[in-house]
Amino acid sequence: MPHCTMADDLEASALKEAFDVARESAVFGPARLVSVGVVSFRPVRQLSEYPLAGGAPAAHPD
């Protein structure tokens, strides 16, 4: 599945600004944001994934 890591090690207080930057930026060209995932890393492990409005339920890999 394609993905784009925009940032890491963000404090909770920076999340809104990060989403605003991603939504308003044209640097990546046209795109559709369908879900938001939460991962831990070192090593990388997906903890959860949340579909956004209009998206199908996200499958959680085990």
| Secondary structure of the chain as H, E, C letters | CCCCCCCCCCCHHHHHHHHHHHHHCCCCCCCCCCEEEEEECCCCEEEEEEECCCCCCCCCCC
pLDDT (0 to 100) of residue 27: 78
Question: Which pTM does this prediction carry?
Answer: 0.48
pLDDT at 60 over 70: no
Residues 1-42 pLDDT 10s: 567 777 788 888 998 888 788 778 887 677 777 888 888 878
Which of 30, 29, 34, 25 minimizes the C-alpha distance to 3? 34
pLDDT reported for residue 37: 82
Domain ranges of the chain: 31-62
